[in-house]
Structure 1
Amino acid sequence: MRRIALYGKGGIGKSTTTSNLSIVLAKKGYTVMQIGCDPKADSTRMLTGGERITPILKTLRQGKDGVTLDQLVTKGDYGIYCAECGGPTPGVGCAGRGIISAFERLDALNAFNELKPDFVLYDVLGDVVCGGFAMPLRKGYAEEVYIVTSGELMSLYAAENIALAVSQFSQKGYARLCGIIQNSRNVENEDKLISDLAAEIGVRVVTRIPRDKVVQECESARSTVASFFDDGAYVRAITVLADEIISKKENR
């Protein structure tokens, strides 16, 4: 089982990228689990026909006795296991703590041994990398980290901070930074800006995902691009990422 976290600034397209990656991996015959680590709990909605699944934290707050794994995990398109950590009531409590509570409950239910995914993909908000938002980097939850960024200034700034946080955990034997995923916004000199960042933090740009209106068109249909198409510039860029991840597995 491989545990991979995708980090990046809020709104940079992590959930879209992660969901399409999940589909491509599933189409290649792998069992995939996607865990949304954002209080908005909307990471997996394009894998479930546009429907938001009940977040783990909400289920736990309802105080149900004997919560079972099938109450916390929903099977989406191509058999992908979908889970959302969720967060506290807006304005009350710590969002990061919700991630910690969700992870602890999945562990208590022996989720990964029961579901046996080949890949676990964590979709993590990266505006801050502290407390619960750093949880995927701790205790071996995620072994590999990819940063999603565009050439926009704040996105690059967040990516640099995420890389610094990952390096701290890497020194302790936890997750390591494996590369940059460019989610293009057609910023001037975008390829160079992101290549320069990758060189500065000592990784490479794994794939450059083009800005493509097909993403919005597919999301309007409540699905991912990779569910509708097997080819095209967008799907090819996601497939490059998937093949990179798979090759790392084969070379381990």
Structure 2
Amino acid sequence: MNAPFKATENGLMALVESVRAEAAMEPDPVHEGEAKSETQIIAIYGKGGIGKSFTLANLSHMMAQQGKRVLLIGCDPKSDTTSLLFSGRACPTIIETSARKKAAGEDVAIGDVCFKSGGVFAMELGGPEVGRGCGGRGIIHGFELLEKLGFHEWGFDYVLLDFLGDVVCGGFGLPIARDMCQKVIVVGSNDLQSLYVANNVCSAVDYFRKLGGNVGVAGMVINKDDGTGEAAAFAEAVGIPVLATIPADEDIRRKSANYQIIGKPDGRWGPLFAELAENVASSQPQRPTPLDQDGLLGLFSSQMVGGNVVLEPASQADMRGGIVIDKPSLEIVYDQV
């Protein structure tokens, strides 16, 4: 671990060297061999704002109501994964609690960072302040602390990890790269950007499978479905099942905005989340076949994504705002003997 940077007259150079040293650090080798654990550890990825936290809060609540022991861990710097479970109230994050306790010379206890609601155990890893650190490094630090608190000894049926899919730096790919989970679930909708993120996740899984990894994609949850079918077509194209389709319904939108759980066994949307819980439990991790850019764009009509556009190359005259006058080259050309 690099020593903290101290401002000196050579501070800028020291910072540059520190950043270079950190960038040169090789990740731990990917674990080889079959993942064996009675606990299903599942990482959920998706574009920011696509509804991962909404989906996970309701899924975890349903699982708990079915008698399962569930731990929900928010791994997004926004720290909003658990907010729905606690009616909008934010949980103290592991990173901020760790920093505060360390400054006071105290150890972090499980009760400082883990809280219960509706039978679900929930916590947030958190992240650094804007511009003051790497979110991926924060994820690594958070999991290191969880290990010290006994993460591998806890007796849960399911551990659900909520990861931001837009960010491609190493820390957010830990579950895939280091076999920290058995399977991945992607959340997407019928729009290009969310499917672009889902495809990136599939590419990451495929890449680490080639290196000997075991993590696979267990399926896709289609959120805010308007019936146009692009997300379902994507799932079929990459070879993963659709685990649930959550409609773009005003009742769901309103209750979610008011921090209300809808994944209740006796509620209107109970059967939907009960089916999702069953599919999540039984789905098997698959090695997906990610699409190239043209394949992804091909899921949408050309009018929607500009498929009929022809790229027109720019010239030096365009770049300079007028006519370019050729100047003699300063290149030295040697006569061949």
Do the structures match in fold with TM over 0.5?
yes
C-alpha distance in structure 1 between counterparts of 2:228 and 2:217, whole Å:
21
* Equivalent of 1:106 in 138, 146, 154: 146
Check whether the contact 1:56–1:102 (CA below 8 A) recurs between aligned residues. Answer: yes
Q: How many pairs are equivalent?
A: 242
Q: Deviations over 1:1-35 (max 9, x none)?
A: 10011101110000000111001111110010001
* Equivalent of 2:77 in 17, 24, 39: 39
Which one has more relative contact order, counting CA pairs under 8 Å at least 6 apart? 1
* Equivalent of 1:2 in 37, 40, 43: 40
* Equivalent of 1:163 in 184, 189, 202: 202
**Which residue identity is paired with 1:180?**
M
Larger radius of gyration: 2
* Equivalent of 2:169 in 130, 142, 151: 130
Identity %: 36
Within-5 A mapping of 1:38-187:
38-62=76-100, 63=102, 64=104, 65-76=106-117, 78-114=118-154, 116-171=155-210, 172-186=212-226
The offset of 1:195, in angstroms, is 2.3
The offset of 1:222, in angstroms, is 2.8
The root-mean-square deviation of aligned C-alpha atoms, in Å, is: 1.8
The offset of 1:135, in angstroms, is 1.5
Q: Deviations over 1:65-107 (max 9, x none)?
A: 211122121112x221111110001121101111111111001
The residue that corresponds to 2:237 in the other structure is 200
The offset of 1:128, in angstroms, is 2.2
C-alpha distance in structure 2 between counterparts of 1:225 and 1:122, whole Å:
20
- Residue ranges of structure 1 left out of the alignment (5+ in a row): none
The residue that corresponds to 1:12 in the other structure is 50
The offset of 1:112, in angstroms, is 4.3
**Which residue identity is paired with 2:214?**
Y
Check whether the contact 2:235–2:241 (CA below 8 A) recurs between aligned residues. Answer: yes
The offset of 1:203, in angstroms, is 1.0
**Which residue identity is paired with 1:92?**
R
SS of match in other structure, 1:47: coil
Establish whether residue 230 from structure 1 lines up as the match of residue 266 from structure 2.
yes
- What's the TM-score once normalised by structure 1's chain length? 0.89
* Equivalent of 1:245 in 270, 280, 284: 280
SS of match in other structure, 1:148: strand
Relative to structure 2, which stretch is displaced further, 163-172 or 20-29?
163-172
C-alpha distance in structure 1 between counterparts of 2:277 and 2:159, whole Å:
13
Change (3 A) 1:207 1:219: closer
Change (3 A) 1:20 1:97: same
The offset of 1:180, in angstroms, is 1.2
Check whether the contact 2:65–2:119 (CA below 8 A) recurs between aligned residues. Answer: no
C-alpha distance in structure 2 between counterparts of 1:112 and 1:223, whole Å:
32
The offset of 1:117, in angstroms, is 1.2
The offset of 1:185, in angstroms, is 4.3
Check whether the contact 1:8–1:148 (CA below 8 A) recurs between aligned residues. Answer: yes
SS of match in other structure, 1:224: coil
C-alpha distance in structure 2 between counterparts of 1:194 and 1:217, whole Å:
23
Check whether the contact 2:54–2:256 (CA below 8 A) recurs between aligned residues. Answer: no
Q: Which structure 1 residue ranges, 4+ long, deviate > 6 Å from structure 2?
A: none
The offset of 1:43, in angstroms, is 0.3
Task: Identify, as 1 or 2, the structure richer in helix.
Answer: 1
Within-5 A mapping of 1:210-229:
210-227=247-264
- Residue ranges of structure 2 left out of the alignment (5+ in a row): 1-38, 285-337
